[in-house]
Amino acid sequence: MTHKPRVLTWHIHGSYLYYLSQGDYILYIPYTPERGPRYGGRGTTFPFGDNVIEVPAGEVRNLDLDLILFQCDENYLEDQYLILSEVQQQLPRIYIEHDPPWQHPCDEVHPVTNPAVTLVHVTHFNQLMWKANIPDVRVITHGVDTHDVAYNGRLEKGIVVINNLPSRGRMLGSDIFKYVQKQVPLDLIGMGNEPYGLREVLHPRLPEFIKDYRFFFNPIRYTSLGLAICEAMMVGLPIVGLATTELSTIIENEKTGYIGLEIEELIAKMKMLLNNPQHAQQLSVNAQQKAKELFDIVRFGQQWENLINEKIHQYILS
């Protein structure tokens, strides 16, 4: 192939799309005049490079593409049939699964059943829990870049980063957050968090905003591994959270933070970090080192480049 791979995908999770765009390929992003759900184009929040090109949804069928990259059920079940030509629908296809199963933790069948589609999970936990009946299932774990922003930890409070927490209930830990906030100083940022949160902090400003907090608290019971946790670790924040899902494999107690299932014990650890900034600094060094090992953006980009080129090469040979 004499040109960079030309990939069509949708703007579903902006921060993930930004990190995905660090690879050596071209991403076409469809938009509609009203910039509605799934069709927002590049948007204005993220500093995308020239390799991210937005295109009117009605003109997608006229593009010369090499691969289709789905990022949600609607992309796969609806959007492809609305905007792709019949020829484009037969191109190499990859589905990125960002979440664990919601309906049943281990018996839910993944909606992608076409054996020609490659399914990519963002965590090993998600792969473990989804029942996928197709042959090609991969895991590409997160990669992040916080531009060398360094932990300070001067504020005697913790930070929580979740969008729309009040409306997302127990699964995202809204009850846990409210309970803990009564006993430990916590700030909540993210869109749709009134009346509990401060405000939304746009992604490019997030590392600089959170670096002064003593620790990062994750109250979520059941989810994938949030990019905000990866970014906080890369900055150097000690992580406190529930010992569930992928987080239980990421955080080591007394080394990079504290995880557990007893909320009172976690509260005690948070208070200890507030009272012992020296210990928080020790955890910070370890957390940042662990993040560099786990969430290297160069590794992430290379894995995506390799997979995209592999699927295109297989298609050409077939």
Residue 313 lies in a domain: yes
CB 28 within 8 A of CB 10: no
Give yes or no: residues 173 and 283 share one domain.
yes
Is the bond into 195 cis (omega within 30 degrees of 0)? yes
Please give the pLDDT value at position 194: 86
> Does residue 1 form part of some domain?
no
Instruction: Work out the number of other CB atoms within 10 angstroms of the CB of residue 199.
Output: 10
Residue 107 sits in the same domain as residue 214: no
Owning domain of residue 168 = 155-294
Nearest to 118 by CA among 139, 100, 101: 139
- Residue 149 inside a domain? The answer is no
What pLDDT is stored for residue 196 in this prediction?
86
In a domain, 83, yes or no: yes
Q: Considering the entire predicted model, what is its pTM? A: 0.97
Helix (H) or strand (E) holding 138: strand 137-139
111 and 59 part of one domain? yes
Taking only the tens place, the pLDDT of each residue in 118-128 is 999 999 999 99
pLDDT in tens, 50-78: 999 999 999 999 999 999 999 999 999 99
Model confidence pLDDT, tens digit, residues 156-203: 999 999 999 999 999 999 999 999 999 999 999 999 998 889 989 999
In a domain, residue 150? The reply is no
pLDDT tens sequence across 72-118? 999 999 999 999 999 999 999 999 999 999 999 999 999 999 999 99
Residues 200 and 269 both lie in one domain = yes
Q: Is residue 212 one of the residues assigned to a domain?
A: yes
Contacts 24+ apart (CB under 8 A), 71-77: 71/9, 71/10, 71/12, 71/13, 71/16, 71/17, 71/95, 71/96, 71/98, 72/10, 72/12, 72/38, 72/98, 73/111, 74/38, 75/10, 75/12, 75/38, 76/111, 76/112, 76/117, 77/111
Q: Are residues 162 and 110 in the same domain?
A: no
Q: Are residues 105 and 79 in the same domain?
A: yes
Q: Are residues 34 and 56 in the same domain?
A: yes
Q: For residues 133 and 113, give the distance between their C-alpha atoms in angstroms, rounded to a whole number.
A: 6
Residues 165 and 183 in one domain: yes
SS3 129: helix
- Say which DSSP state 296 is in: B
Residue 167 lies in a domain: yes
The CATH code of the domain that includes 236 is 3.40.50.2000
Do the beta carbons of residue 79 and residue 10 sit within 8 Å? yes
Contact 227, 248 (CB under 8 A): no
* Claim to verify: residue 106 and residue 183 sit in the same structural domain: no
**Residue 37 and residue 115 in one domain:** yes
Q: How far apart are CA 315 and CA 311, in angstroms?
A: 6
- The reply to whether 290 and 303 lie within a common domain is no
| Domain total of the chain | 2
Domain contains 214: yes
* Residues 37 and 120 occupy one common structural domain: yes
CATH number at 37 reads 3.40.50
Instruction: Read off the pLDDT of each residue in 261-281 and give the average, rounded to a whole number.
Output: 98
Q: What percent of the chain has pLDDT over 70?
A: 100
